[in-house]
Amino acid sequence: MSSLLTASTVSGAQGGDAPEDLLPSPRVETARLVGLYVVSVLVALGIIAVLVLIVGDDPWSVFSALYQGSVSTPGAIGRTLDDTVPVILVALGTLIAVRAGMFNIGQTGQLVFGAICAAFIALKVHGPGPLVLVLALLCGVAGGAVWAGLAAWLYAWRRINVVISTLLLTYVATQILDYLVSSQRFLEEPSSSAIGALPQSAIIPPNVDLPHPGAYPDFGVTLGIVIAVAVFAVFAVLLARSRWGMRLRMVGANAVAARRFGVKVAAVAGGALVISGALAGLAGSILLTGEVYRITGGFANTFGNDGLLAALVCRDRPGWLLPVSFVFGMIRTGGNYFLSTGVPDYLAEVLRGLLVLALVFPPVYLERREWARRLKAARVLALRAT
Amino acid sequence: MSVGDASIVISGIIAESAPIMFAASGEYMAERAGTLNISITAMMLAGAYSGIAFATAAGNLIVGLVAGVVAGLLVAALHANFSHRLAANTFVVGLTLDALVLGVTDYFGTVFKPGSAKFTPVSVPLLSKIPALGSSLFDQPWPLYLLFVIIPAVWWLVERTTWGLEVRACGENPGAADATGIRVNVRRRQAVYLCGVLSGLGGAFLSLCIVGTFNFNMTAGVGFVVIAAVIFGGWTLRGAVLGALLFGAASAMGLVLPVLGASVNPQLLLALPYLAALLAMMFLAKSHRAPRALAQPFTRGVS
């Protein structure tokens, strides 16, 4: 859509006295966008402050808890980075799928299914730690890819809307997970007491955990962030520079035209969907081996939706992906810290929601204004021409 | 199974499926207009909380019901204006609203904890005397009887009025609808507003007529069952209502069957709506065609 906005549809068609003077310069537009971002984020924070004031608490305590819990100490930064990893991976996958015009909203399901596969390997395969770890991560990737591939196959076979199938498959995956972790035959923790075990898997063996590179006194971060950033860098280059990236863009912009140019549309679009599932599966297996260490019914813990939202806030600008994901990580670790300071922890949820709306609003608002202006200009020109 | 058992089972099914039916008839309208409205959970949760909160604060159940409707409408207004005025991605808005309303109701539910209040059953003369069916269908809180009005009204609105025709046109081919002078985004917003009204009512019904208090995240999962019901029904109202009944029955079975001594896999029952919707789309592809422009934003001049 943004490419259409910059195309000179109005001025090019008529030439000469196009009302370019009606349109603001790019610099003014950028300033306006930045200003609007600042204002809407401030409004979001203001609403939070009002919510806290209603209860008679000090709004400042919320923001300071958020800061202290997420970035005030090296240890907090490490935890934030660990929480950022799944968000980066899921968001990257979403961005790739959206670029090909495939709207995958079932990342949670793909993350869960990937984590299930990784958990089976980590718990049931006995061997040298690093080997099992790599195998578990690969199986996580494969599991996520299969779950997204199911949606791609349904689309190819019956033209079932990908949005609908990925959404429905998410709940199927969640129930499969619930079944597996409450069944002794599969993943449930072996129970020693008479009451029976909790619906959760055993803790994965420590030698399968993702290693923490280096040894620092109070800063700890798993290899996950390295993997995530590396994967991001590879795909960022591929998206911007490779033939595949170009094809992805063509299919997303106009599938019919892409087909005329000889692009295998189904393969590219389906492939993008599978890649996004694979990345969600990788996120799930890293979450399992690097942060949670056991799989439970609530394993996904809104990481899938966080990644999806982060990607949609970025709006097809991969450069935004790392910082936006980091903000999501900050809100999560800061939110976990809320309870210890007496701030209700659901405020983190409210804050995240308001912040997403605040980040979504400015570009769409300006875009809409721009469209209205161009339509008006086109109408003026059409009248002049007759 | 005795008559008493049957009537317990039917009451259970009604209790589980009535909120889904309210919301599904709203979601049906929204989807026919082209919005895959995933903030339905938020609308229901907002309705459930404000329903019970206002009912206990005002000491009047009808105030609660109205407050639930208003809360649903409020969420719908946010959703509709973000995604059909500003053309923001509808899933960003929907998922965000789901999380936002969950957080807000958790927050207010702790700070202003609502008490408990519940509609008492009103029995319809004569009809409630029908064996087994009667006491479970016609000896219920009166808001349930609204369904007997709402469902035909929604059908009439969508299938028999100009407004409904325009709404369906917006869901199938917004470009063509726009060319004939229909204001696509206005129709879509209106459909989402109506969806908010009915979902808010469904949420208030859940808290005021079935549960009687507010529990955190009490509509968890219900919203997506509503969406599954509309898909299962192939985007027809009777299909959606049937889906709501069926899925309500499935979740009622999860509670009733163990009591009656039968064992059943609970996860399978919970996954049933989604599996059924997927299978219906796979094998009934001819009759189960989604509105062609479902979940596609409309901006004039962009096809």
**Which domain does A296 fall in, by range?**
79-342
**Smallest Cβ distance to A175: which of B86, B271, B295?**
B271
Q: Which of A99, A75, A87 is nearest to A324 (CA)?
A: A87
Is position A17 within any domain?
A: no
Residues 6 or more apart in contact with residue B91 via CB below 8 angstroms: A103, A105, A163, A308, A312, B36, B38, B295
Per residue in A121-158, pLDDT (tens digit) is 999 998 898 999 999 999 999 999 999 999 999 999 88
Q: Do A367 and B87 make contact, defined as CB atoms within 8 angstroms?
A: yes
- CB count within 10 Å of CB A60 equals 10
Interface of A with B in 133-162 (CB under 8 A): 154, 157-161
DSSP state of B140: E
The CA R_g of chain A, rounded to the nearest whole Å, is: 24
In degrees and rounded to multiples of 5, residue B141 shows phi and psi of -55, 140
Say whether residue A36 is in contact with chain B using an 8 A CB cutoff. Answer: no
Q: CA B42 to CA B101: how far, in whole Å?
A: 6
Same domain, A356 and A336: no
Tokens of A288: 């399992």
Tokens of B242: 């049937």
pLDDT for the residue numbered A9: 44
Select the more confidently predicted residue: A85 or A349. A85
B20 pLDDT tier (thresholds 50, 70, 90): very high
Residue A295 contacts residue A126 (beta carbons within 8 Å) = no
Place of tokens 């929604």: B154
Same domain, A326 and A295: yes
Interface of A with B in 263-322 (CB under 8 A): 302, 305, 308-309, 312-313
Is position A294 within any domain?
A: yes
Residue A376 contacts residue A369 (beta carbons within 8 Å) = no
A15 pLDDT tier (thresholds 50, 70, 90): very low
Is position A73 within any domain?
A: no
Same domain, A100 and A249: yes
Q: CA A349 to CA B198: how far, in whole Å?
A: 26
pLDDT for the residue numbered A24: 65
Q: Do A353 and B281 make contact, defined as CB atoms within 8 angstroms?
A: no
In degrees and rounded to multiples of 5, residue A297 shows phi and psi of -60, -40
Interface of A with B in 336-355 (CB under 8 A): 344, 346-354
Q: Is B234 left (phi over 0), alpha (psi -120 to 50) or beta?
A: left
Place of tokens 């479970």: B136
Same domain, A347 and A310: no
Average pLDDT of chain B is: 90
Cα four-point dihedral sign B20, B21, B25, B26: negative
pLDDT at A2 over 60: no
**Smallest Cβ distance to A154: which of B85, B96, B282?**
B282
Is position A15 within any domain?
A: no
Torsion of CA B47, B48, B49, B50, to 10 degrees: 40
Residue B253 contacts residue B269 (beta carbons within 8 Å) = yes
Per residue in B275-292, pLDDT (tens digit) is 999 999 888 877 788 899
**Smallest Cβ distance to B274: which of A159, A172, A361?**
A172
Q: CA A140 to CA A283: how far, in whole Å?
A: 8
Instruction: Find the closest chain A residue to B109 by CA distance.
Output: A346
pLDDT at B114 over 60: yes
- Three-state SS at B122: strand
Per residue in B197-253, pLDDT (tens digit) is 999 999 999 999 999 999 988 888 788 999 999 999 999 999 999 999 999 998 888
- If one counts the domains in chain A, the total is 2
In degrees and rounded to multiples of 5, residue A198 shows phi and psi of -75, 155
Q: What's the pTM value of the predicted model, to 2 decimals?
A: 0.91
pLDDT for the residue numbered B3: 63
Torsion of CA A44, A45, A51, A53, to 10 degrees: -150
pLDDT for the residue numbered B4: 67
Is position A255 within any domain?
A: yes
Is position A375 within any domain?
A: yes
Q: Do A167 and B87 make contact, defined as CB atoms within 8 angstroms?
A: no
Average pLDDT of chain A is: 87
What element of type H or E holds A203? none
pLDDT at A102 over 50: yes
Is position A69 within any domain?
A: no
pLDDT at A167 over 90: yes
pLDDT at B301 over 80: no
Per residue in A332-347, pLDDT (tens digit) is 998 888 877 777 778 8
Q: Do B91 and A312 make contact, defined as CB atoms within 8 angstroms?
A: yes
Q: CA A117 to CA A187: how far, in whole Å?
A: 11
Per residue in A16-31, pLDDT (tens digit) is 445 555 566 778 888 9
End residue of a domain, out of A342, A357, A377: A342
User: Which residues of chain B does A309 touch, with a Cβ-Cβ cutoff of 8 Å?
Assistant: 92, 95-96
Mutate which: A105, A168, A178, vs B, most B CBs within 10 A? A168
End residue of a domain, out of A326, A342, A358: A342
Same domain, A355 and A332: no
- CB count within 10 Å of CB B226 equals 35
- In chain B, the domains with their CATH numbers are 12-283 (1.10.3470.10)
**Smallest Cβ distance to B281: which of A55, A160, A163?**
A160
**Smallest Cβ distance to A350: which of B38, B103, B231?**
B103
Place of tokens 């202290």: A68
- Which residues pair with residue B121 across a beta bridge? B141
Residue B101 contacts residue A350 (beta carbons within 8 Å) = no
Is B295 buried (19+), middle (13-18) or exposed (0-12) by CB count in 10 A? Answer: buried
pLDDT at A10 over 50: no
pLDDT for the residue numbered B187: 96
What is the nearest CA distance from A178 to chain B, expressed in angstroms?
A: 7
Residues 6 or more apart in contact with residue A256 via CB below 8 angstroms: none
Tokens of A47: 């609403």
User: Which residues of chain B does A361 touch, with a Cβ-Cβ cutoff of 8 Å?
Assistant: 82, 86, 88
Interface of A with B in 60-119 (CB under 8 A): 103, 105
Distance from chain centroid for Cα A366:
24
pLDDT for the residue numbered A261: 93
**Smallest Cβ distance to A346: which of B82, B107, B227?**
B107
Residue B70 contacts residue A349 (beta carbons within 8 Å) = no
Mean pLDDT of A163-177: 94
Helical segments of chain A, H only: 2-6, 9-14, 26-55, 59-70, 74-99, 107-124, 129-158, 162-181, 224-241, 243-253, 255-260, 265-287, 303-314, 321-341, 346-385
Tokens of B41: 């959970």
Instruction: Find the closest chain B residue to A311 by CA distance.
Output: B92
DSSP state of A188: B
Is A20 buried (19+), middle (13-18) or exposed (0-12) by CB count in 10 A? Answer: exposed
Cα four-point dihedral sign B259, B261, B262, B265: positive
Per residue in A29-83, pLDDT (tens digit) is 889 899 999 999 999 999 989 988 887 778 888 888 889 888 888 889 999 999 9
Per residue in B64-111, pLDDT (tens digit) is 999 999 999 999 999 999 999 988 889 989 999 999 999 999 988 888
Same domain, A270 and A332: yes
Q: CA A100 to CA A301: how far, in whole Å?
A: 27
**Smallest Cβ distance to B290: which of A164, A305, A312?**
A164
Helical segments of B33-173, H only: 40-58, 61-84, 90-111, 133-137, 146-160, 162-172
Q: CA A314 to CA A322: how far, in whole Å?
A: 10
Is position A386 within any domain?
A: yes
User: Which residues of chain A does B106 touch, with a Cβ-Cβ cutoff of 8 Å?
Assistant: 344, 346, 349
- A281: domain CATH number is 1.10.3470
Same domain, A127 and A259: yes
Per residue in A274-325, pLDDT (tens digit) is 999 999 999 999 999 998 899 988 888 889 999 999 998 998 899 999 999 9
pLDDT for the residue numbered A55: 76
A195 pLDDT tier (thresholds 50, 70, 90): low
Same domain, A119 and A99: yes
Same domain, A166 and A45: no
Same domain, A294 and A205: yes
Place of tokens 């204006």: B81
A196 pLDDT tier (thresholds 50, 70, 90): low
Same domain, A31 and A155: no
Q: Do B87 and A368 make contact, defined as CB atoms within 8 angstroms?
A: yes
The CA R_g of chain B, rounded to the nearest whole Å, is: 19
pLDDT for the residue numbered A20: 54
Residue A358 contacts residue A44 (beta carbons within 8 Å) = yes
Same domain, A191 and A297: yes
